[in-house]
Chains A and B, each alone.
Chain A
Amino acid sequence: MANVLVFAETRGTALRKTALEAVTAARAFADATGGGEVHALVAGPSGVGAAASQLGQYGADVVLVAENPALEKFDRESIAATVAARAQSGNYRAIMLGFSAQGRDVGPRVAAKLDLPIVTDVTDIQASGDAIVVKHPGYANKVIATLQISGPSAVIAIRPSAVTAAPSAKAGKVETISLAAEPSASKVVVKEVIEGGKGKIDLGEAPVIVSGGRGLKAPENFKLVEDLAAAFGNAAVGATRAVTDDGWRPHSDQIGQTGRQVSPQLYVAVGISGAIQHLAGMRSSKTIVAINKDKEAPIFKVADYGIVGDVMEILPALTAAVKEAKAHH
């Protein structure tokens, strides 16, 4: 029987998607290894405890809540110390968390503090006898490594969106804990948090991405891309390097080798030729749709479904069809 400790990441008082994914993964692992307990740890400003019920729904037996007004801004040092302290006192087979930007900061610190092995960007977790076996993509997603972790415990950071958060209701009993270190003693201090556009779904979180390239001819035509994204309801808008370099879209929207790497459920490439640098950013999407007027465009080689034709005509038609389809669900 193996207990699992989960660091459930929040931003402010809101749980992040990776937190639920981590709990789901922990729940599955615990169930597969004799039905141990999943303890989820949340640390945040006052009111973060409200997240506890959601964590319970997704499989946490116990939710450890560390509320501290000093945690308005993310304080990695005190949070890592708290997770490590809890792990030290408990007997956890594994410590799981999402491999997000903040997860990158917390995971290795916890492992170093506890002298535990750590694996990151993990897409699959299995127990194999005494060992834990994980899958981890390397070489820019060109090779999948299957890694074996030996020892009584390990830190496992899960690739965001690799696990689909699934409800599995458990008690979610709340336990209040205090931070193991004072945020005021932290050396790395957050001075400012700059929000991205309000209400914009982040490319890394969006299940659907509609992306535009040079084939749109002019920056104004990106409106058609935005319309399609809006029709999907949960879509983000991406762009190729060509159009971000030209200033049509902000650089943060760029998907590709030197931009964001994404793997949504659905990626719709509009007016994008499919240069290798762009493909490197979206190749691992579950389903790829390409719309381009050039039937020789390389994008059609990676697309699951392709339509050849004038994007200016096809986009509005597709937007209408998607709206219709969504309305009937």
Chain B
Amino acid sequence: MKIAVCIKRTPDSESRFKIAASQTAIDEAGLKFDIDDFASYAVEVALQLNEKQGPGETVVYAVGPDPVQETLRKAMSMGADRAVQLKTDATPYDGMAVAKALAAELKSGGYDLVLFGKHAFDTSGGIVGTATAELLGIPCVTAATKLEIANGRGTARRELEGAAETVEFPLPAAVTIDEGIARPRYPSLKGIMAAKKKPLETKPAQLGAARVTVKSMDLPPERPAGRIIGEGVAAVPELVRLLQTEAKVL
């Protein structure tokens, strides 16, 4: 199958974040970046599908300035065959703008499957995948936790709140990938070496207008320090009293 995977370069999720002087972004000093977690599951799904189903091609796409090339190389070191950078000066926060750039590029790709992560760690929008699919006019499954492809049709499972649904759809289609579906493989040194020679194409991104902009970024308010109110069973009445009167949750 010819599979496209759209990935994003995001900072490591364990980091402590500080706000940059501009107040409209985080301070990137000292941060480590990598393929966004959900996007890396999507890459793994693509690689596994092509391994199972015989010869195919996995192509990774990313929108962003040049540092994103490192992220594309990482995807190729996992096994993607080639990469395309849709170059911008800065990756817009506006998911719809990004979706337009991807749709413009993917239209002519002839892909059987286009995969995305469910959402990206930084913007946490969950917009790009489903919007791009809609712009391409192909069916979309949002947040799949299971995916199987056979004979030009796909079956996927989606978690709902307290339930799950199984859906079927024809190819070509887009799927955004939720976690739990696959564990992204660790690139071998062999893969890392090979990735250096795989083709990486750069083109300008045809972004839509950015109608959503960051007015400010702030750290959430500090949670006030809690307290240990007592020991053992004796502390229970006090806890109940506090829950009723102070926290007002009882």
A contacts B: CB pair < 8 Å: yes
Residues on A with C-beta less than 8 A from B212 are 117-119, 147-150
A145 in contact with B214 (CB, 8 Å):
yes
A195 in contact with B163 (CB, 8 Å):
yes
Residues on B with C-beta less than 8 A from A144 are 217-220
A100 to B235, CA, bound (A): 39
Q: Which of B165, B216, B230 makes the CB contact (< 8 A) with A193?
A: B165
Secondary structure call for the B interface: mixed
A126 to B170, CA, bound (A): 41
A306 in contact with B127 (CB, 8 Å):
no
- Given the contacts A105-B130, A258-B179, A322-B250, A317 and B121 also touching, CB distance less than 8 Å: no
Residues on B with C-beta less than 8 A from A27 are none
Residues on A with C-beta less than 8 A from B44 are none
Using CB atoms, name the residue of chain A closest to B232. Answer: A309
- Given the contacts A307-B229, A309-B232, A321-B240, A142 and B219 also touching, CB distance less than 8 Å: yes
B95 at the interface (CB under 8 A from A): yes
Residues on B with C-beta less than 8 A from A136 are 124
Using CB atoms, name the residue of chain B closest to A303. Answer: B226
A146 to B134, CA, bound (A): 27
Q: Shortest Cβ distance from B178 into chain A, in angstroms?
A: 10
| Chain A residues with a Cβ closer than 8 Å to the other chain, count | 87
A314 at the interface (CB under 8 A from B): yes
A189 in contact with B235 (CB, 8 Å):
no
Using CB atoms, name the residue of chain B closest to A195. Answer: B163
Residues on A with C-beta less than 8 A from B164 are 193-194, 196
Interface string of A111-151 (1 = CB under 8 A from B): 11101111111000000000001001111111111111111
A139 in contact with B26 (CB, 8 Å):
yes
Interface string of B1-37 (1 = CB under 8 A from A): 0000000000101001101000000100000000000
Instruction: Supply 10 further A-B pairs (C-beta < 8 A) apart from A149-B212, A308-B231.
Output: A101-B159, A115-B96, A146-B217, A187-B169, A196-B163, A205-B161, A287-B243, A295-B228, A305-B247, A313-B233
A-to-B contact residues, CB < 8 Å: 11, 73-74, 77, 99-102, 104-105, 107-109, 111-113, 115-121, 133, 136-151, 154, 160, 187-196, 200-202, 204-205, 207-208, 258, 265-266, 283, 286-289, 295, 300-310, 313-314, 317-318, 321-322, 325-326
